[in-house]
Amino acid sequence: MLVSLSIKNYALIENLKVDFKDRLSIITGETGAGKSILMGGLALVLGKRADSSLVYDKVKKCVIEAEFQVSSYHLESFFEANDLDYDPWVIIRREILPNGKSRAFVNDTPTNLSILNELTSQLIDIHSQHETLQLSDPSFQFHIIDALSNNASYLNDYNLAFQKYKALIKELQAFEELQLQAKKEYDYNLFLWEELEKADLKVGEQEDLEKDLEKLSHVEEIKLSLAAILDISEQEPLGALNQMSAIDQQLSKIEGYADLYGSMSERMKSVLIEFKDLLAEIADENDNLVYDPAALENVEDRLQTLYDLQKKHATKSIEELLVIKEAYHSKITDVDNAEETISNASQKIQKAELSLNKIALKIRKRRLNAIPEFKSQIESALGALEMKNTRFKVALTESEDFLLNGKDKLQFLMSSDKGKSFETMKKVASGGEMSRMMLAVKWILSKYSSLPAIIFDEIDTGVSGEVSNRIADVMLAMSQNMQVITITHLPQVAAKGHHHYKVFKEDNKDGISSNIKLMNSDERLVELAQMLGGSAITDSAMAHAKQLLS
């Protein structure tokens, strides 16, 4: 329930704090006293978008706080899912800063308006006159029937299945669009893939070919260098090999005189062996190396093929060409296998449709079972509200398409008098009748859904006499199971409340501001007398007020 409301620096309210109680609370006040401003402040703290123009003092921030007692609402999972600190006493705060920016807090944790609206929709229901238009809204009509049908879990299952179904269709449509484009490009992609396939690309091949090209292009220069090396090494008597052999002989003569000389001799012998081996390899290479124009041409042609492919596909390596080749292969394969893929996707969609149809059928059956009960209850409630001849009809027709909440189309029809045809409520119901119908609907809903608190903002406008008494009786009945707060101009309604608050204007140092107070029995008697007879209280008005209170 709503425990308290505090408003600072908002519109005509400088500083207001009010504690609310359970059961039926009445709020009254003269026109212009600030009742609408009070409701506007409450709407802000419940998640309505802020308007900085309504700040009372433009240099100070506006702060609105509402405290709710939520121990029996089972909201722990909601708080956990949204990373909020749970407490049985929830304090919601909205701040509008002088620069126009606004902030929202739940138990001092910053939050956004989306989460705030989702939370407060589970705490309180504010109903004003213009909201009677909801009665003609199919989504609200479904809300009523589904509440009576106890369809919440089935609708949740349907929603999950419907989202999966839409995702499958979207996926298939996207694939079909891609395939349509892929078919147009199929021949070209096939040509490019075959070209790359024919090239027989191998990782590392290009580097090896470039080395071979370098060698084959300089055969004569290489042979001249190799021959010169052999000549320098083996010529008599000053060749490098002869010179090194002479050094080896000299070291061999003195190797026994010291360990150092022995080590030098060993190292020289190793150098000589390595040098002879190197010369033998150079000689073999020189003998085997011949100028081969055909081999050179083959290497050049192969490299040119690789270079051309890299230029064509804007790449710099064989590895990148292989990646592109695989991509073309995938596109070709997708087209070749498209029929099978589409068939598999269609089968999944058919299964999803079967599942959706099963859930939709359960929802429909439960709705059909609930409609007679709703018809009976709404007509009974309207009878209690002085609309005894009103007849209700709920038209539920099956749709061929899957809709957001099943496969049903719904329409509320009514007949205002016996013998008259059924029409939509817009056509036959007056504003006062629409208000009474909405009150009846809220009364019914309060029995089936956990509405912890509800506020009626002048829902009784346009009615009087016995009708107002009946409206008060309905609100009183609703307050047995929930907190009901109603703003009213009717003394018959005000007298039925368990608690009575008055909104009034008062002078202060900065001008006029609005405030609210809980009246005691004497104050309440005077307020009712003024509502009955005006500011000049008469004995008959006081007597009538006492009669109403009794």
Q: How do the pLDDT tens digits run along the chain, 550 residues long? A: 899 999 998 888 888 899 999 999 999 988 888 888 888 889 899 988 887 778 878 888 999 999 999 888 888 888 988 989 899 999 999 998 888 888 999 999 999 999 999 899 888 888 876 667 778 888 889 989 998 999 989 999 999 999 999 999 998 888 777 777 766 776 777 788 888 888 888 888 888 888 878 878 888 888 888 888 887 777 767 788 888 888 888 888 888 888 888 898 899 899 889 988 988 888 888 888 877 788 888 888 888 888 888 888 888 888 888 888 888 887 777 766 667 777 888 899 999 999 999 999 999 999 999 999 999 999 999 888 888 888 989 999 999 999 999 999 999 998 887 778 888 888 888 777 888 888 888 888 888 776 678 998 887 777 777 888 888 888 998 888 889 999 998 898 999 999 999 999 888 776 788 899 999 999 999 999 998 888 778 888 889 989 988 8
Q: Report the alpha-carbon distance of residue 440 to residue 457 in Å, rounded.
A: 15
CATH number at residue 467: 3.40.50.300
Q: Is residue 485 part of a domain?
A: yes
User: Among 483, 468, 461, 462, which residue's Cα sits nearest to residue 125?
Assistant: 483
One domain for residues 119 and 190 = no
One domain for residues 233 and 106 = no
One domain for residues 117 and 223 = no
User: Among 340, 306, 331, 335, which residue's Cα sits nearest to residue 321?
Assistant: 306
Q: Is residue 316 part of a domain?
A: yes
Split into its structural domains, the chain has a count of 2
One domain for residues 106 and 182 = no
One domain for residues 106 and 232 = no
Q: Final residue of a domain: which of 274, 302, 336?
A: 336
Q: Is residue 41 part of a domain?
A: yes
One domain for residues 3 and 113 = yes
Neighbours of 168 (CB within 10 A): 18
Q: Is residue 92 part of a domain?
A: yes
Q: What pLDDT is attached to residue 246?
A: 80
Q: Report the alpha-carbon distance of residue 366 to residue 150 in Å, rounded.
A: 8
One domain for residues 326 and 217 = yes
One domain for residues 203 and 76 = no
One domain for residues 120 and 185 = no
One domain for residues 116 and 210 = no
Q: What pLDDT is attached to residue 433?
A: 82
CA contacts within 13 A on the Cβ side of 113: 12
One domain for residues 188 and 296 = yes
Q: What pLDDT is attached to residue 32?
A: 83
Q: Report the alpha-carbon distance of residue 430 to residue 142 in Å, rounded.
A: 22
Q: Is residue 375 part of a domain?
A: no
**Residue-range definition of the domain harbouring residue 209:** 178-336
Q: Is residue 438 part of a domain?
A: no
Q: For residue 65, what are the β-bridge partners? A: 6, 93
CB-count burial class (<10 Å; 0-12, 13-18, 19+) for 108: exposed
Measured CA distances, 38 to 44, 63, 180 (Å): 10, 13, 61
Backbone angles phi, psi at 392, to 5 degrees: -115, 145
One domain for residues 191 and 257 = yes
Q: What pLDDT is attached to residue 186?
A: 67
Q: Is residue 473 part of a domain?
A: yes
Q: What pLDDT is attached to residue 163?
A: 93
Q: Is residue 278 part of a domain?
A: yes
Q: Which amino acid is at 195?
A: E
Sheet strands (E) in 47-173: 62-69, 89-96, 102-106, 109-111, 125-128
Neighbours of 224 (CB within 10 A): 12
Q: What pLDDT is attached to residue 193?
A: 80
Q: Final residue of a domain: which of 315, 336, 357?
A: 336
Write b or e for each residue in 52-77: b if 16 or more Cβ atoms lie within 10 A of its Cβ, otherwise e. eebbbeeeebbbbbbbbbbeebebee
User: Hey, what are 373's tokens?
Assistant: 């009960």
Backbone angles phi, psi at 327, to 5 degrees: -65, -45
Q: What pLDDT is attached to residue 122?
A: 86
